[in-house]
Structure 1
Amino acid sequence: MAFENDGDLAAHLADQAGKILLQVRASGVFGGKSLGKAGDQTANQFLVHALREQRPEDGLLSEEEKDNAERLAKERVWIVDPVDGTREYGEERADWAVHVGMAVGGKPALGAVALPGLDAVMRSDQPGTIPPAPDVLRMVVSRTRPAREATEVAQRIGAELVGMGSAGAKAMAVLRGEVDIYLHSGGQYEWDSCAPVAVALGWGLHCSRIDGSPLIYNQQDVYMPDLLICRKEHAERVLTEVAALG
């Protein structure tokens, strides 16, 4: 089956990879770290083979695949994370995700994020309506390692902290109206944020580095130190408070 539309392909692959991961977990033959490893490898094989079949001319970057410098010469590069939030996946929580994104000319141009635990797929090309923000803003942070900048900015703006697992789950929580600001400064990689950022941009949110500069993908060094995803009306205030931290 050929997918002519990139958005349909991204959403289908994210959804199917999520279903595969649920089947691997339900098999009952893996536990602990071995479950996360089996899930990662199985979903990765599905995604990379599918993308090479459907889009053989495009570049590809996956967390679970050895990097290939050939992608740097490509205008279109798929950036995937087969299991974003391996710990949460293994613990049978809902706050993990599957990321299928695409960078075009270094920009996060298209993405789909599956939340298999919630039976949901969020797409950059099919934006929905984000619920209005409450009077007291909510800032989502790592449930195990909250970043200092996030906790300090939350205190400065009077925001409530909400702990959550994977990067994709945090970003999609802003779209779902469960939180209002996702500020991260603990370091990530391109596959952690490409698809979620593409979806958030498609839904009209602000996405940037925490100094306000753009997020750029398909770089030789795939490390990304920080990011901010929030409603546009909150961006200036958050960026100002980050800068004030020095």
Structure 2
Amino acid sequence: MHQSSPMSDADLAAAIAEGAGEILLGIRHRDLLTGHLVGDVGDAMAQAWISTVLRRHRSRDAVLSEEAEDVGDRSVADRVWIIDPLDGTSEYSMGTSDWAVHVALTVDGEPVAAAVSLPAKGEVFRSDEVPVADGPLTGRLAVSRFGHSYHSAAVADRLGMDTVRIGSAGAKAMAVVRGDADAYVHSGGQFEWDNCAPVGVALAAGLHCSRLDGRPIVYNNPQPYMPDFIICRPEISEAILDAVASPW
């Protein structure tokens, strides 16, 4: 019995993502804190609250978080919460809306309950309730606010896609889930907490999620570095995989 409270994993993930978002919005209240200071306080306070909630409600589960030291035998545990208390700290510090909170439970390396909140937009996406992404294609590719990576440029060129610049990883992934973009192609290196919850929500929405070479994405690795991945509409997944395999 892993649960120490009756709340389901899906409900807990969503409640944590929403609650941490409310805390982060409060920290930005009336710009009493700004710049790097608001980002540092946001990271620390969101992490403290989330870790305390998980100890209270899932005391037997392991946790991997961007803002906590990765210690112990986390990588051999079957149930692991992978957390990013504040995805897009720079966007949050600048006062924009393109930042997120990521909460995911993985079982044997697979996200089984995931939630991504975009607090400044008032949105929470949860894997047990997200609708299937089946609207018309937009022809848009979500990219970093700094522009293309090598592989995303190849995809845009090969498929004739327009780009939309979005801040954090969670915000880019949820643009695809929401139907505002058709794909998010990343090859600049991330860590598991940057994309685990977004991938969990995207998979539940029926989207294609894989590494650039088409392999499935597996979480809770001993080294949590995640160099690349694709989140896209399934009807263009083969074309995107072809484009990143032979970008020249």
**If the length of structure 1 is used for normalisation, what is the TM-score?**
0.96
**Counterpart check, 1:37 vs 2:22:** no
State the match for 1:232 in structure 2. Answer: 234
**Counterpart check, 1:6 vs 2:15:** no
Distance 2:228 2:130 in 1: 24
Could you tell me which amino acid in structure 2 is paired with residue 5 of structure 1?
S
**If the length of structure 2 is used for normalisation, what is the TM-score?**
0.95
Deviations 1:20-40 (A, max 9, x none): 000001153322111101000
- State the aligned residue count: 245
State the 1:192 CA deviation: 0.3
State the match for 1:49 in structure 2. Answer: 52
State the 1:54 CA deviation: 0.5
State the 1:230 CA deviation: 0.6
Gaps of 5+ in 2: none
State the match for 1:160 in structure 2. Answer: 162
Identity of aligned residues (%): 47
> Which of 76, 93, 98 is equivalent to 1:95?
98
Determine helix, strand or coil for the equivalent of 1:64: coil
Distance 2:63 2:101 in 1: 16
State the match for 2:73 in structure 1. Answer: 70
Distance 1:73 1:216 in 2: 13
> Which of 208, 211, 221 is equivalent to 2:210?
208
Of stretches 143-152 and 234-243 in structure 1, the one that deviates more from structure 2 is: 143-152
Structure 1 runs of 4+ with >3 Å offset: none
Could you tell me which amino acid in structure 2 is paired with residue 183 of structure 1?
V
**Counterpart check, 1:245 vs 2:230:** no
> Which of 114, 126, 129 is equivalent to 1:126?
129
Of stretches 100-109 and 27-36 in structure 1, the one that deviates more from structure 2 is: 27-36
State the match for 2:200 in structure 1. Answer: 198
Distance 1:232 1:226 in 2: 18
State the 1:129 CA deviation: 4.1
Could you tell me which amino acid in structure 1 is paired with residue 211 of structure 2?
R
Computed over aligned residues only, the root mean square deviation of the Cα atoms, in angstroms, reads 1.4
Distance 1:16 1:4 in 2: 15
